[in-house]
Amino acid sequence: MSGPAPEMEKLLVLQEREQKKMRLERELAAWPTEMKALETKKTEIRAVAERKKQEAQQTEVERKKLELEAESHRAKVARYKIQQFETRKNEEFQALGTEISREEQEIQQIEDRELELMDAGEKAKKAAAAEAEAAKGKEAEVTVKEGELAKKKGELEGRLAELSKEIEALAAGLEEGLLAKYRRILANKKDAAIVPVVHGTNCGGCHMKLTQGSVLAAKGGKAGAACENCGRLLFWPSA
């Protein structure tokens, strides 16, 4: 006899549909992870933009601190100069002069650092603005992908519903005992419950050598022919 028996042919069609269903179910099961990855990507994009913004703000905070520090030193200079004007002692006048010079040096150093921070602040603001603009584009790209993923989910669910109806119709046309056996094997093996005899002697599932009885049963088109090693149902492939 050439090719599988009619009952086995029906089982093969059913198996092909159920294998497709399992693939779709795996894709659907992966959907939440894929969507979560996109959400994480958005969070990362926002975090980078926020860090750039905070860097610019921190530079401005540091510059203002220096500004206040400089003001404090200027106030000391003004106070020392008043004291110089009021004193009549030469030693005290010179000591105050020394303090004034020291404070003015401090002010100069602070102002130099202020200029550096102003320059760094401008660069940081530009970098933050550029990153914020780039983040909008990146987020928009992720949003498009989220939409595509949501659409894909809907399509998968639709195909899955159609397959389930088709599987139900195919199963209804099979002998109950054979169908139950097929279902048990598929649930156990996860991949295939019915496999071909390969090379004329081996099981197409576990690849172990079959007994002559199993080979002849499959070749003869017996619906219950099975591998003694793995228990999968066997069929003889078409020439």
Give the start-to-end residue ranges of the domains of the chain: 17-173, 175-239
Model confidence at 224, pLDDT cuts 50, 70, 90, reads: confident
Q: What is the 3-state secondary structure (H, E, C) of the chain?
A: CCCCCHHHHHHHHHHHHHHHHHHHHHHHHHHHHHHHHHHHHHHHHHHHHHHHHHHHHHHHHHHHHHHHHHHHHHHHHHHHHHHHHHCCCHHHHHHHHHHHHHHHHHHHHHHHHHHHHHHHHHHHHHHHHHHHHHHHHHHHHHHHHHHHHHHHHHHHHHHHHHHHHHHHHHHHCCCHHHHHHHHHHHHHHCCCCEEEEECCCEECCCCCECCHHHHHHHHCCCCCCECCCCCCEEECCCC
Model confidence at 200, pLDDT cuts 50, 70, 90, reads: very high
Q: Determine the average pLDDT of the residues in 5-23.
A: 92
Q: Is the pLDDT of residue 82 over 50?
A: yes
What is the predicted pLDDT for the residue at 2?
A: 54
| 0.85 exceeded by pTM | no
Q: Looking at domain 17-173, which CATH architecture does it have? A: Orthogonal Bundle (1.10)
Name the average pLDDT for the chain: 93
Q: Determine the average pLDDT of the residues in 53-76.
A: 94
What is the predicted pLDDT for the residue at 1?
A: 44
Q: Determine the average pLDDT of the residues in 5-25.
A: 92
